[in-house]
């Protein structure tokens, strides 16, 4: 165990039990979608989720500024998503933040800092943020945030009162709410009679502070366009695209396949922008029905037309518009409305104006085809708990979204733990292609199909811990003059394969084995003939390391 100072963030849903009781399936689906948003913002702000339980999230941040900025971004993003639901079905979080001394044990954090953050979360308004005095002192002069001092609050299981502040949240009309003082968990009933004048005086001062103390600054309006948590867009409408009359928007419907991805940044800007003449066959992220529409109705339409998309597969199209600007705006608006209706936070971008491609991102990096192969020796039933290189919250999301989804479905995995799943596609090949395109755009490098429908389609090691993707041609553990030979021998890729190296970097291979243990044993024996102190560095397509 080790001690450290950290900014602790605690959040959970107000009225979660009631929401579940009213509609369990819909509540769990939306919780998974909203958690994508929260996880993404936390990762973007260099935070780390260290515990989850039901609807609760506990995270640590390197600074109070990062934690508060992240909390504001989360609340504003979720408020926008809640606008699509009636008040009784809105899913709103309360967030509490403090700075405290905590103990780290097996990745989890324990101590008063965690407990106080949870109590501050209980003091927060629905959709609001409550912070400790230590946090307020750290961020007051660094963020354009309004606070209300609600004074010392007595909270459960904390021996001394906690001095707390509410953060003023921006309303829909652009004004800022005035946080309301929550009634503290008080011990006043047991106070002696002679203390009541003092108590009344203290309460009066607190009331004055609450109504009068707001900094004369604006709450930072953080743009969320580049944030990319995901939701399942399967709830979006799926009308068949047909060309409408002049000046109407062609209903280029969202794909019939749902999609979801891990928290990662926007499409990688590393590739050169796509330019040139529009060709339906080259458009990424879309299903074949949309591609047929683009090859037919869109291509045949007049000049004033535009097509927009996002990497989640949502699209918008405008045909026969009065001018180019109208076409641009109509296509973007249609695409974004569809994405927003399905709670996809990914922003839509113009792909084509007229017959010219204007997409600012290059083609997503893709692996060579075929994108997956079936191998009876290594293929096994999909289990979310065994999905490699992602944290437990992502495994829960896969269990809730991927496992019960309609076929055809695929999950692509990136070397940094990015993943993207496409659900309900017309074929396994289409779901794989779309998952790889979207995952590649997120990761900036080619991803790998890990699961298709009910099975893992790559070997998933269990004897050692998966640490990344294995690329023999550039692996520094293998001596340079032996890498090409390893690449050549592993080219077939069927069965269980393992690679071991010794102190001199001389590789040993276990190839086309019927099981993982046999491949490992063969690789170690082969290495021992060339080197000493051999250990396994790769099993199947993954690099591996000790389990602890």
Q: 207-216 in b/e burial notation, b at 16+ Cβ within 10 A?
A: eeebeeebee
Contact 129, 67 (CB under 8 A): no
pLDDT per 10-residue tile (average), the chain, 548 residues: 89 87 83 89 92 87 93 89 83 94 86 90 91 91 84 84 86 53 41 43 45 38 30 31 30 38 36 75 92 93 91 91 93 88 80 92 89 93 93 88 90 91 92 94 91 96 92 92 93 91 95 95 95 94 86
At residue 367's C-alpha, the angle toward residues 265 and 415, to 5°, is 45
pLDDT score of 54: 75
Using CA of residue 39, residue 44, residue 45, residue 46, what is the dihedral sign?
Answer: positive
pTM of the model: 0.54
Give the count of beta carbons closer than 10 Å to the beta carbon of residue 433.
23
The per-residue pLDDT for 170 is 64
Contact 500, 507 (CB under 8 A): yes
Query: What distance in Å separates the CA atoms of residue 478 and residue 355, rounded to the nearest whole number?
Result: 49
What do you get for the CA distance between the two ends of the chain, in Å? 15
pLDDT on residue 210: 40
Beta strands per DSSP E along 364-459: 380-381, 410-413, 419-423, 448-452, 455-456
**DSSP-assigned letter for residue 52:** E
Does the domain formed by 2-212 have CATH 1.10.357.10? no
Q: Encoding tokens for residue 90? A: 């809105």
Residues carrying CATH 3.30.70.1230, the chain:
2-212
pLDDT score, position 157: 77
16 vs 21: CA distance, rounded Å: 9
Q: Output the pLDDT for position 472.
A: 92
Q: What is the pLDDT of residue 177?
A: 57
What pLDDT is attached to residue 243? 28
Q: What is the pLDDT of residue 159?
A: 82
DSSP secondary structure string, 90-117? ---EEEEEEEEEEEEETTEEESHHHHHH
């Amino acid at each position: 165990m080790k001690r450290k100072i950290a900014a602790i963030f605690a959040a959970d849903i107000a009225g979660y039990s009631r929401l579940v009781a009213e509609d369990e399936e819909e509540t769990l689906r939306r919780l998974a979608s909203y958690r994508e948003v929260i996880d993404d913002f936390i990762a973007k702000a260099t935070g780390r989720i260290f515990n989850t339980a039901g609807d609760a999230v506990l995270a640590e941040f390197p600074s109070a500024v990062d934690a508060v900025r992240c909390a504001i971004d989360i609340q504003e993003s979720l408020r926008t998503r809640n606008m699509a639901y009636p008040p009784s079905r809105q899913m709103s979080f309360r967030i509490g933040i403090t700075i405290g001394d905590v103990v780290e044990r097996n990745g989890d954090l324990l101590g008063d800092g965690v407990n106080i953050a949870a109590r501050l979360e209980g003091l927060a308004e629905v959709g609001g943020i409550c912070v400790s005095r230590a946090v307020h002192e750290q961020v007051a002069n660094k963020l354009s945030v309004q606070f209300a001092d609600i004074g010392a609050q007595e909270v459960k299981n904390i021996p001394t009162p906690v001095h707390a502040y509410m953060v003023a949240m921006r309303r829909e009309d652009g004004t800022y709410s005035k946080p309301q003082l929550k009634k503290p968990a008080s011990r006043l009933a047991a106070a002696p009679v002679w203390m009541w004048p003092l108590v009344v005086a203290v309460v009066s001062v607190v009331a004055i502070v609450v109504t009068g103390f707001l900094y004369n600054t604006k709450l930072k309006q953080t743009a969320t366009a580049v944030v990319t948590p995901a939701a399942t867009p399967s709830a979006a409408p799926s009308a068949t695209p047909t060309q409408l009359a002049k000046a109407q928007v062609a209903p280029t419907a969202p794909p019939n396949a749902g999609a979801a991805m891990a928290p990662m940044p926007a499409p990688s800007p590393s590739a050169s922008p796509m330019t040139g003449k529009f060709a339906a066959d080259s458009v990424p992220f879309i299903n074949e029905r949309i591609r047929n529409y683009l090859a037919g109705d869109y291509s045949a339409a007049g000049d004033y037309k535009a097509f927009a998309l996002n990497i989640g597969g949502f699209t918008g199209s405008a045909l026969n518009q009065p001018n180019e600007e109208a076409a641009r705006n109509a296509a973007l608006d249609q695409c974004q409305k569809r994405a927003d209706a399905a709670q996809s936070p990914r922003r839509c971008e113009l792909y084509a104006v007229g017959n010219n491609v204007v997409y600012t991102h290059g083609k997503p990096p893709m692996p060579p085809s075929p994108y997956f192969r079936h191998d009876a020796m290594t293929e096994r039933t999909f289990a979310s708990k065994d999905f490699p290189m992602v944290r437990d919250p992502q495994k829960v999301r896969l269990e809730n979204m991927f496992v019960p989804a309609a076929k055809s479905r695929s999950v692509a995995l990136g070397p940094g733990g990015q993943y993207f799943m496409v659900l309900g596609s017309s074929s396994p090949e289409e779901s794989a292609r779309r998952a790889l395109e979207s995952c590649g755009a997120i990761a900036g490098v080619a991803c790998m199909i890990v699961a298709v429908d009910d099975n893992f389609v790559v070997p998933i090691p269990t004897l050692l811990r998966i640490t990344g993707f294995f690329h023999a041609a550039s692996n520094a553990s293998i001596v340079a003059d032996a890498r090409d030979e390893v690449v050549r021998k592993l080219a077939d890729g069927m069965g269980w394969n393992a690679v071991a190296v010794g102190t001199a970097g001389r590789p040993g291979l276990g190839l086309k084995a019927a099981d993982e243990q046999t491949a490992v044993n063969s690789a170690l024996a082969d290495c021992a003939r060339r080197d000493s102190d051999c250990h396994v560095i790769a099993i199947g397509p993954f690099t591996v390391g000790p389990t602890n």
